[in-house]
Structure 1
Amino acid sequence: MIDKIAWIRIEDGHILSTRSKGRSRYYLPGGKREQGEGDLDTLIREIKEELSVDLQPETARYVGEFHAQADALPEGVEVRMRCYECDYLGDLSPASEIAEMIWLTYADRDQTSAVDQIIFAQLHSQGHLR
């Protein structure tokens, strides 16, 4: 089981997504927790590293937990993604291993990982994602 935390940022029906260097698929921003980190600690650290902004933990809202086959790993390796919405301060800018950031819609879900596709479907069914 791969334990990941992801940031859900939706603006005008589009969701923020990122592509890491050397990858072709898009992924929700976030990453794996380090030893002893809680969900929000992980999220704040990862988003600062990846997108150069400061999340505002007092605005965090839990969106849900999603499970799927991990992308680019052997069959049976599952990813668990705990997702949060959160306001931020600063200007979004790709950093670290992030090659590109992009705003996607539900129609773009085939360009994302299996777990992201599940998240896109839920957000779309709730009317949050175009």
Structure 2
Amino acid sequence: MTLASATPPLIHIAAALLVAPDGRTLLVRKRGTQAFMQPGGKIEPGELPSHALARELEEELGLRIAPDDARYLGRFSAPAANEPGHVVEAQLFRLDLDSDQVTPAAEIEEVRWVDPANADELTLAPLTRDLILPFYRASQLASA
């Protein structure tokens, strides 16, 4: 008899808190899904999180960034929005952009620039809803 693991499988990702000049942040919705989330994606074996982020942002949004321009904010974990029974573990980076012009590509169906205080009308991934947006709101209050 084998006991099932009590630990759900982890999905390791690099995620971006992309911030426009007016303080809004970008959320994306992948094709065939309902939840909006941070842009980013899975970290390949042997890949540094900041390099995975740069690769994913170029693939998904046409944004070219230098990995060193992304400011590391920490590691955040929550139930995965699109893979039941899995937990997503995100290495989160902040990037302040000069413009809010992005072009959805690859599997991205929709992008939305949102005020982090008023994003509740959207269906949000647990990581975004429960951790990243509250973290961003708290950082905005601390710097005000």
TM-score category of the 2 structures, normalised to the smaller one = 0.7 to 0.9
**Does the 8 Å CA contact 1:57/1:86 hold for their aligned counterparts?**
no
Partner of 2:123: 111
Q: Does 1:59 align with 2:69?
A: yes
> Which residue number corresponds to residue 90 of structure 2?
81
Residue 121 in structure 1 maps to residue 134 in structure 2 = yes
Alignment-derived partner of residue 43 in structure 2: 33
Deviates more, 1:66-75 or 1:48-57: 66-75
Query: CA offsets per residue over residues 26-52 of structure 1, 9 Å max, x none?
Result: 111000011211111101110000001
Given that residues 71 and 94 in structure 2 are in contact (C-alpha distance below 8 angstroms), is that contact kept between their aligned partners in structure 1?
Answer: yes
10, 13, 25: which one pairs with 1:4?
Answer: 13
C-alpha change, 1:23 and 1:6, in structure 2 (3 Å) is same
Unmatched runs of 5 consecutive residues or more in structure 1: none
Tell whether the 8 Å contact from 1:55 to 1:87 is kept in structure 2 after alignment: no
* Identity score, percent: 30
Alpha-carbon spacing, 1:65–1:44, altered in 2? closer, same or farther (3 Å): same
Structure 1 range deviating more: 90-99 or 8-17: 90-99
* Alpha-carbon separation, structure 2, partners of 1:22 and 1:74: 15
- Per-residue deviation, 1:24: 1.4
SS at match of 1:44: helix
Which AA in structure 2 matches 1:108?
A
* Bigger Rg, which one: 2
Q: For residues 74 and 103 of structure 1, what CA distance do their matches in structure 2 show? A: 27
Q: Render the CA deviation track for 1:41-73: whole Å, top value 9, x for unaligned.
A: 101110000001101223221012111111133
Answer 1 or 2: which has greater strand percent.
Answer: 1
- Alpha-carbon distance in structure 1 between the residues aligned to 2:98 and 2:26: 15
- Conserved 8 A contact 1:53-1:89: no
Q: For structure 2, which runs of at least 5 residues remain unmatched after alignment?
A: 1-9
In 2, are the aligned partners of 1:53 and 1:88 still within 8 Å (CA)?
no
TM-score (norm 2): 0.79
Q: CA RMSD in A?
A: 2.0
